[in-house]
A and B are shown apart, each in its own frame.
Chain A
Amino acid sequence: AQSVTQLDSQVPVFEEAPVELRCNYSSSVSVYLFWYVQYPNQGLQLLLKYLSGSTLVESINGFEAEFNKSQTSFHLRKPSVHISDTAEYFCAVSANNTNAGKSTFGDGTTLTVKP
């Protein structure tokens, strides 16, 4: 079984500041890791994922996350946020011997970007 802990429930930042959303996981087997974004009144959208290979993964809108196996972490970072990044962010993990649809989700982090 897996579990996910998102260490911050709310993260307020000013526009153009850097941000880090923290995610730790536990699992007895190798894992796939995901970050999803949810805008108000919408479904989740995949932001980025780690399946294998390079431990640093990037999204098309400037976010990146690094898989750290020794610290069992998958923190999400962006060097300069925009107002439009305001949303709920979810970290998720699934065992790599099953499919990504059976992921375990964290409780979410609300990112609020202020002008």
Chain B
Amino acid sequence: NAGVTQTPKFQVLKTGQSMTLQCAQDMNHNSMYWYRQDPGMGLRLIYYSASEGTTDKGEVPNGYNVSRLNKREFSLRLESAAPSQTSVYFCATLRADSGRDEQFFGPGTRLTVL
């Protein structure tokens, strides 16, 4: 089992460029999440998807869009990148098991916007 995988691992963009961060999971979990992590801060939720076909905004959704392509895949798109979006992005899933909830995180994508 690969768990949660993310591509790419690293990316450098110029201001105004667009890109899509990919996330895939093989754990058959319904819920998936995108977080960003900035230096000296914890994770902040960007968007999440409680199940295939649904998406909802998190704490910091501005400047991002998401697509829940199927149960396995959840992508994050930056339409016009800004330096403020320089961050490490983590995808996660949730095993919801009545009283045994647990999140599983991918290795992260390190994005720099110049």
Q: Is the CB of B44 within 8 A of A105?
A: yes
* Interchain CA distance A101-B106 in the complex, whole Å: 14
User: Distance (Å) between the CB of A46 and the closest chain B CB?
Assistant: 6
Given contacts A42-B108, A43-B107, A44-B90, contact A105 B43 (CB under 8 A): yes
Are A32 and B90 within 8 A (Cβ)?
no
Q: Establish whether residues A51 and B40, one from each chain, have CB atoms under 8 Å apart when the complex forms.
A: no
A52 to B95, CA, bound (A): 17
User: Whole-angstrom distance between the alpha carbons of A51 and B99 in the complex?
Assistant: 7
B90 touches A9 (CB 8 A): no
Residue in B4, B44, B90, B101 whose CB lies within 8 Å of A99? B101
Please tell me if A78 contacts chain B, counting CB pairs below 8 Å: no
- Assuming A43-B90, A43-B108, A100-B94, is B42 touching A108 (CB within 8 A)? yes
The answer to whether B107 touches A52 (Cβ under 8 A) is: no
How long is the Cα–Cα vector from A81 to B101 in the complex, in angstroms?
Answer: 28
Number of B interface residues at 8 Å Cβ cutoff, please give it: 25
Q: How large is the interface on A (under 10, 10 to 19, 20 to 34, 35 or more residues)?
A: 20 to 34
Whether a CB of chain A sits under 8 angstroms from the CB of B31 is: yes
CB <8 Å contact, B33 and A52: no
- B78 interfacial contact with A, CB 8 Å: no
A99-B94, A100-B94, A101-B92 known; A52 and B99 CB under 8 Å? yes
* Contact indicator A107/B42 (Cβ below 8 Å): yes
- CB-contact partner of B101 in A44, A51, A90, A104, under 8 A: A51
> Shortest CB–CB separation between residue A1 and chain B, in angstroms?
10
Please give, as numbers and ranges, the residues of chain A lying within 8 Å of B41 by CB-CB distance: 107-108
Interface residues of A (CB under 8 A from B): 4, 9, 32, 41-46, 49, 51-52, 90, 92, 99-108
**Beyond known contacts A45-B105, A101-B31: 7 more, CB 8 A cutoff:** A43-B4, A43-B108, A44-B105, A90-B42, A99-B94, A105-B44, A108-B41
